[in-house]
Structure 1
């Protein structure tokens, strides 16, 4: 076996070539394992290529590398390629349980899964970590694995993330100051926050995130409510700000200041003009409009954000105000699909195409039914002039269609409309066509032809 990282010169490969031509003394083949092959120099690769083009019948080369793209194509074309992939955490846990059973050690399944995640798909690292956990004595639990692997608790990260979500700048800076006084490295703290928000992103987007997140089960349960409360835009914005701070920390001596500046930006997105910040603020505003209340501006670092602001006399508190608005919006949300009286006051609705664009993303069938349609606004009533009768059928029979159209109008205008059909003044509903059989019967009776009806 040859380590190409330390034997990467032309002379090393030339010596290998000279030795390779000698027949093996005992075995049938002479096997050369070249580890970290991508570390060979260009001259060494050229020297290796000469013997690989016409190798002796008793010589086999095994080239191992983690960066196959750095190996020249002339070498790859003369090799059989086998790609080894990471082993799944469940498979690693199952194999470790077999080892523990043979050794007479109690290994909890959750501990085996945690070892599998920490090993990152490597069985050798997993067995080494299990050996280290067994040396602690007693049963191998998830807590023992966390202690042996040096996993730091995520309690301080969860507290910081909650302060970020509440836009509480003062509390966030106080917590960072406390951690700094405990001699915690600020660059390490920033990296831990990046990893923590990466876990929140996975909890928000992946159906089964347990396979991708390295955390204790109780820590996972504590993270789920926070991930549910935060929007994906907020998580991505916080991730981008923290990663920028982590990159700058390597170029400055005052790392604490860099982290504190980033925390102020996270708690006050209005101070940031980046695209991620604007998207996060827009999503907060849209969510507030859907609830029927305006979002309060985030409090700056002067004073605590959790202090209750004075309420003007006679003005209801936000919770009561939201309940009142919701109660007022409830009767207005009922759909009205009926013939209307005078429509002379109805005005063309100018943002109808934008509403249809939103429907294309949320309800494509309804969008197709509204093709070439127009809309007219009359107070809180939105009148739809649709050419396709399928639209009226969907509105009458499908609650999802009605909710989709209401939500699209609400997202575009901030108002909740009642829905109705538009019929221009003087136009009456089309009369149904006469039954041909009835017409034939009337004609026969008029002509005096006896007709027997059964």
Structure 2
């Protein structure tokens, strides 16, 4: 109560109208509206807005750590809204704040909320240790939160899978309905003549080679070896093909997400170690491994693309 009276005297002494903006400024907090704008920028993948918001905080008297705590608290409120049937009981918010949280939380799955909270917590610890890097850490974290493909962690992959499952449940990936005639009647099947049918038979195409080298015939052993250390990585390798020329290894994948996951230095080193052991080929290092994207490896579009 004493702190509240002191804050009221401070606001009254300013000679301005005492409203929520003045109180937030006097207390050194960012305010709920700024936090909501930040979450909206993450939802819309609006990176310029994110840089602008963090830049404003860096040049103001508001401590970025205080704003970060409020952002984590906002994400907690959204998680409660998405998981608790009677969520209002656990939220100490006004009616307008509840409506705002409800609107923003509708854009998230539970998995993505938990993933973002983990990122926010890690960034908070980093900003506590390195006060000079608060702005950089905040900007990098928020940009990463706009696109789950920018992270290789299992939490990010789980978030993308949850988004994919939600789209499937909504029928986003449903097959198109059969075409009909202009009059609305199904097109009749017309028998083809033998000559026409022969013309429609596709000519066999030669098997495509994936890079220069010899296919690795012990690739399954490599995948099993990697699986003992990283299940997610082994899943991507199981869908890939690899060739070897000397000590140079080329791994062909079907999408950019698999490429980015396999291409990290730590994962390349793990794969190189597995190849050396399974193929009895000493001296292979992560720098000997290259990853290429070959659309032929995957007959359809990457189901994760755009999530």
Shorter-normalised TM range: 0.3 to 0.5
TM-score by length of 2: 0.47
Name which structure has the greater RCO, CA cutoff 8 Å, separation 6+: 2
TM-score by length of 1: 0.33
